[in-house]
Amino acid sequence: MFTGFDFDVIQRALPYLGQGMLFSLGLTLLSMLGGILLGTLLALMRLSGFGVLNVPAGGYVNLLRSTPLILVIFWFYFLVPLAMKKITGDAYASGIGPFYSALIAFTMFEAAYYCEIIRAGIQSVPRGQVHAAYALGLTYGQAMLQVVLPQAFRNMVPILLTQGIILFQDTSLVYVVGLTDFMGAASKVAQRDGRLVEMYLFAALVYFLFCFSASTFVRRLQAHYSGAR
């Protein structure tokens, strides 16, 4: 079964794979950041009583949660350059490059998921806290920033991190637009050297080790939080 299994190819490819991994991690972290910021905004919009805010936000979230990530990636990858051409009137505008298209795609996609997590987190803070804040004379903004959001985020950290792990796995999908993340790098080496088995198994192993350690860490964190209560 393993005759001709070539471990060398993995070793020789390590620098290239390392670059791919940096890409994956970078994309993950930036999208997480953007996703959480945009997600918080969306969550606040959805929680506000104003139809003009919560309907578009709700529509956005439901739309992005119904659409496959690959399709969203395609949307931004193919259509951003077209939009740029229209906006700038320049027929040869090349858009903002594949990395930024992917970054926008991931941020917008994850924001929809983060919105729901954050919304649930905010709703889990007892109403009495908000009342107490208002009773002291705080404005809506102050109550949110000083009282509600800090508590909400503390409750949500494990789930936000778990979503981050899922996001890390999802970055592998940039393969469909030819970007070289970790999986893309492994795939390119596999095809160039004809070593599909070794490279793909190695990729699986690396992803497993990263994600398993990360989720174990999150589990410990969760246990720590609920113990401290």
Partner 1 sequence: MDFSVFLQPAFSGGGTYLDWVLSGIKWTLWVSILAWIIAFTAGSVLGVMRTTRLPLLYVPATVYVEVFRNIPLLVQMFIWYFVLPEVVPKGIGDWLKTGMPMPEFWNAVLCLGFYTASRVAEQVRSGIQSIPKGQTEAGLAMGLTRPQVYRHVLLPMGYRIVIPPLTSEFLTIFKNSSVALTIGVLELTAQARQISEYTFRTFEAFTVATVVYVLITLTVTVAMRALEKKVRVPGYIGSSAK
Binding residues vs partner 1 (CB under 8 A): 1-2, 63, 65-71, 74-75, 78-79, 82, 169-170, 172-173, 175-176, 183, 187, 196-197, 200-201, 203-204, 207-208, 210-212, 215
Q: How far apart are CA 86 and CA 101, in angstroms?
A: 17
> Least CB distance from residue 70 to partner 1, whole Å?
4
Length of the chain in terms of residues written? 229
Residue whose CB is less far from partner 1, 26 or 134 = 26
Spatial neighbors of 48 by CB under 8 A, at least 6 apart, are 54
Nearer to partner 1, 48 or 62 (CB): 62
CB of 81 vs partner 1, minimal distance in Å: 10
Q: What is Dmax (Cα atoms) for the chain?
A: 75
CB of 106 to partner 1, least distance (A): 14
Q: Decide whether 47 or 206 has the Cβ nearer to partner 1.
A: 206
Cβ closest to partner 1, residue 54 vs residue 172: 172
Residue 73: CB atoms within 10 A of its CB come to 24
Whether the Cβ atoms of residue 218 and residue 162 lie closer than 8 Å to each other: yes
C-beta of residue 160 within 8 angstroms of C-beta of residue 115: no
**Least distance to partner 1, CB of residue 146, Å:** 32
In the complex, least distance from residue 73 CB atom to partner 1, rounded to whole angstroms: 10
Nearer of residues 67 and 88 to partner 1, judged by Cβ: 67
**How many CB atoms are located within 10 Å of the residue 3 CB?**
4
We find the least distance from the C-beta atom of residue 134 to partner 1, in angstroms, to be 29
Instruction: Pick between residue 134 and residue 222 the one whose CB is nearest to partner 1.
Output: 222
The answer to whether the CB of 125 falls within 8 A of the CB of 143 is no
**Helix, strand, coil in percent for the chain, rounding step 5:** 85, 0, 15
